[in-house]
Amino acid sequence: MIAADLPIQRPSTARLLIVDPQGRIVDTLRTQLIEAIRPGDVIVANDAATLPASLRAVHERAGAPIEVRLSARRSLDPEDVRLLDVVVFGAGDHRTRTEDRPPPPALRAGDRLRFRDVTAVIEALLDHPRFVRIAFEASPAVVWRLLARDGRPIQYAHMRDSLALWDVWTPIAALPAAFEPPSAGFAIDWQFLAQLRAKGATFVTLTHAAGISSTGDRELDRRLPFDEPYFIPHATARAIAEAQAQRRRVIAIGTTVTRALEHAAGRDGIVRSGPGLANQRLGHATRLRSVDAILSGTHEVGTSHYELLRAFIDDDVLRAVNATLETAGYRTHEFGDSILIEADPRRAYRQPAVREQQAALAIVGARLRNLAPTPCEAY
């Protein structure tokens, strides 16, 4: 596949590879995505805005310049930004590939990092030389000001130019929460939402703190994705429950949405509303509980994103998909082309009849609690 090197979210030439439950593959343009949507489908997207998660700092003990990439937090509470897990790089910039960046000075608990007029202390080493937990010695308001003033979006060596913040915000971006963009959502625009409404499909959102895609270290990359907080509105949970009761499809826009919904779904397959912390990994051994299809970017074999796609289709089909992407010249990475995979029904956790019965019970409970959607919860 070819690395997409221009920050154009919705080029008219963007490609879409559609994979049906039987493993049949169709190569088309992404402008034809609406043709793959059925009346009654529920489309769920991540409305997290991307943080300027790359910060320059000085490691005070060594007097050395470093780059700090914010990588994980425990909740979406705006006040909960003083304690963060970060990946630290030595001197250099994004023109050097992440995996070729030099390591930082030896990091120790108690080391101080200086971000111009704000300092942070390394509270703990997280079992890797460049992965640590830091505590800012400042109020949440000051930390947010630091990010707004000095932070930049995480950059990529394959991009021709530096990314600005507006390059990495999807059209539905809301709460600043993602460390890298939930880039499957780049395929969405307001025209597409109007088309969904006209077709009789439902569009809802959740907020998920999309994490970093690469740490530059093979050993640390094997721990991806890190734990990621999310919030599912009542309207979204209710729309999913109604779709399950009527055996309609739930389509996740991206791996982050899939991870949040599958984490929020109990053993009965019912997605609960509210906050959560996705700490699971999805892959070949996963039996999907709530998501029927995924719209995703294209991903290289071995990445955590690619592993998640193995929950939807068998490996032999995924190998055929990968071969088609290669021979057809699909573009990969954040601004690349898209794939739409409908899960092989044999990979579902429960039988449809059980799923239908339990989803119907969840709808009754939701109605009894009078969970009416707010304007920001459903479109």
The per-residue pLDDT for range 178-207, each reduced to its tens digit, is 999 999 999 999 999 999 999 999 999 999
Q: Give the whole-angstrom CA distance, residue 182 versus residue 180.
A: 7
- Residue carrying the six token digits 């010249």: 329
Pairwise CA distance, residues 85 & 72, whole Å = 5
Backbone dihedral region for residue 191 (phi beyond 0: left; psi -120 to 50: alpha; all else: beta): alpha
* Domain covering 2-50+162-368 in this structure, CATH number: 3.40.1780.10
Count other C-beta atoms under 10 Å from residue 344's C-beta.
Answer: 18
pLDDT beyond 80 at 291 = yes
Q: Which residues contact 73 (CB under 8 A, 6 or more apart)?
A: 80, 81, 83, 84, 85, 209, 229
Question: With 90 as the cut, is the pLDDT of residue 377 above it?
Answer: no
pLDDT band at 95 (very low <50, low <70, confident <90, very high): confident
Task: Show me where the domains of the chain are located.
Answer: 2-50+162-368, 54-150
Is the pLDDT at 103 greater than 80? The verdict is: yes
Residue 79 pLDDT = 96
Average pLDDT, the chain: 91
Predicted pLDDT of residue 353: 42
Taking the C-alpha atoms of residue 359 and residue 242, their distance in angstroms, rounded to an integer, is 7
Q: Which residue bears the tokens 């990359």?
A: 221
User: For the segment 258-268, what is each residue's pLDDT rounded down to a tens digit?
Assistant: 999 999 998 88
* pLDDT, mean of residues 74-101: 93
pLDDT higher than threshold 80 for residue 150: yes
- What is the distance between the alpha carbons of residues 373 and 379, in angstroms, rounded to a whole number? 10
Cβ atoms of residues 119 and 112 within 8 Å: yes
121 - beta bridge partners? 112, 135
CA–CA separation, 240 and 290 (whole Å): 8
Residue 305 CB coordination number (10 Å): 19
Exposure pattern of 33-62 as b/e (b: 16+ CB <10 Å)? Answer: beebbeeebbbbbbbbbbbbbbbebbbeee
Q: What is the pLDDT of residue 153?
A: 97
Work out the average pLDDT over 316-342: 95
For residues 378 and 204, the answer to whether their CB atoms sit within 8 Å is yes
Residue 355 has pLDDT above 60, yes or no: no
Q: What is the model's pLDDT at position 362?
A: 53
